[in-house]
A and B are shown apart, each in its own frame.
Chain A
C-alpha cells in the first residue's frame, strides 16, 4: 500500500496548474447547472471531420491494421496481455485523480486498491491480479469529469489518429495527457514505458476487435456516419447511465 501512495498524491504545483487550466471552464460552464442529456447529432464541422476520417481510415489500412495483425501473430498471448495490463495500470493514477474530481469516492477507493494490488502482486502491473479477484477497472477520464461538472457535450469532432470525439471529450483528452500524474514520476528513459505500453494495447485491441472494426470501416456504406453514431451512442450511454429515453423509439407508432 505504502509505495502506491505517491501515485495518488498530486503534487501541489501539478494541482495548481490543473486548477489554472480548468478553473475558467468551470466558472464559465458549470455555472449553467447540470446539462440535460444530449440526443441527436451535432456535427457542424462535418466537411472537415470527413477529411480527417478519410485520413484515419487510410492510416488504419496502411499501418494500424497490418501492424496489429503481425504484432498479435508474433507475440505470445501472455506477453501481449502483460503489455495491455501494464498500460491499464499506468493509466490508473490519472483515472483515480478523475474519480476524486468527480467525487466518486467508491470508484477512487476501488481503483486505488487495484493500483496497489497490481503494482505489487501483479509485478508492476503486468498481471491484472485485481480483476482476477473480482475488482474490475472502473474507467473514467477528464471528459467525464467535465460532464459531471456540467459542461455540455459540444460538437462532434473526429480527431486525427485518435478518432471520434466531441469538443468536451477532446478537451478531456488533452487535459488527461497534460496533467497525467505519472509524467512527473517516470523520468529519463522510463518515461517511454507508458506510451509504448499504450501503443501495444492499441495494437492488441485493434486485432481483438478486428471483425467489428473492419465491418464499420470497410463494409459499411458510410463509415464516417457509422463511426459517429457508434461513438455518440456508446459514449452517452456511459456518461449518462445506459440507454436514453430518446433512443427508445417506437417503430410501431410511425
Chain B
C-alpha cells in the first residue's frame, strides 16, 4: 500500500500540470478539436462524410464509379476493421491472423457494394446533419435524409476515437443498425458454409 502513495502524488502533479496546460491553451484561444473527440469534432466528421456522400449520390456517375467512391468514402471516414471484426462475431476469435486480414479486405468491398446500393437510392436526395450527443460508446450524430417523394427519415451515426482517429463505426437507417444487420448476415453466411471461414471470405468477395 505505501508504495501507492508516491504514484498517486505523481499522478496528482501530472494532472495539475495538464490542467494548467489546458487552461493556458484555452486562455490562448486554442480550440482545435484534434486532441480528443468532442461534440464538435464528431459532428464535423459526419458533416464532412455527409457532404462527400451528397456529392457522390448527385454526381450522376456510373454504378462502378460510385462503388469505388463509396469504398474510398468508407475507408476515409469509417473504422472498417472494427466493423469487420464485429460483423464476424464470435468466429473472429478462432480466425487466424491471415484469415482476419483477408476477411477485413473482403468485407471492405462487400460493404461498399451493399451500402453503395442503398445510398444509390438516395440519388437526387440530400442528407442534413441535425445534431449530436454524447453516449456511452462515443458520440451519436443525427441526420435526416430527404429523398424525393418520400417522407424524411432518420440516419444516425456512431462516432468514436478509440481507433486512434475520429471514425464512424456504426450507422442506423430508420433505427436499423448496420452492425446488427451485418452480424446477422455474416452469421447466416457462415452457418450455410458449416463454419468454414475461408469459404465465407471467398463468397463475401462477390456478395452485395
Known contacts A215-B117, A229-B176, A249 near B137 by CB under 8 Å: yes
Chain A contact surface mostly = helix
List the one stretch of B5-13, B33-41, B42-50, B166-174 in contact with chain A: B166-174
Are B172 and A220 in contact, with the CB atoms below 8 A? no
Which parts of A206-254 form the interface with B (CB within 8 Å)?
Answer: 208-209, 211-212, 215, 219-222, 225-226, 229-230, 233-234, 236-238, 242-243, 245, 247-254
Are A229 and B189 in contact, with the CB atoms below 8 A? no
Are B82 and A226 in contact, with the CB atoms below 8 A? no
B154 on the interface (CB 8 Å rule)?
yes
A173 on the interface (CB 8 Å rule)?
no
| Total A-B contacts with CB atoms under 8 angstroms apart | 101
Are B86 and A234 in contact, with the CB atoms below 8 A? no
Are B174 and A237 in contact, with the CB atoms below 8 A? yes
A137 on the interface (CB 8 Å rule)?
yes
Q: Mark B183-208, 1 if CB is under 8 A from A, else 0.
A: 01100110110000000000000011
A136 on the interface (CB 8 Å rule)?
yes
Are A229 and B180 in contact, with the CB atoms below 8 A? yes
- Cα A245 to Cα B158 with chains together (Å): 12
Q: Which of A225, A236, A243, A251 contacts B156 (CB 8 A)?
A: A243
Looking at the assembled complex, report how far the CB atom of B149 sits from the nearest CB atom of chain A, in whole angstroms: 8
Residues of B within 8 A of A253 (CB): 137
Residues of A within 8 A of B192 (CB): 221
Residues of B within 8 A of A249 (CB): 86, 137, 170, 177, 179-180
Are A248 and B184 in contact, with the CB atoms below 8 A? no
Are B135 and A220 in contact, with the CB atoms below 8 A? no
Residues of B within 8 A of A237 (CB): 154, 172, 174-176
B165 on the interface (CB 8 Å rule)?
no
A224 nearest in chain B by CB position: B188
Residues of B within 8 A of A252 (CB): 82, 137, 160, 162-163, 169
Q: Which of A211, A222, A233, A254 contacts B180 (CB 8 A)?
A: A233
Residues of B within 8 A of A250 (CB): 136-138, 160
Are A211 and B117 in contact, with the CB atoms below 8 A? yes
Residues of A within 8 A of B208 (CB): 215, 219
Q: Which of B140, B142, B184 contacts A226 (CB 8 A)?
A: B184
- Cα A233 to Cα B156 with chains together (Å): 13
Q: Which of B137, B149, B184 contacts A225 (CB 8 A)?
A: B184
B94 on the interface (CB 8 Å rule)?
no
B97 on the interface (CB 8 Å rule)?
no
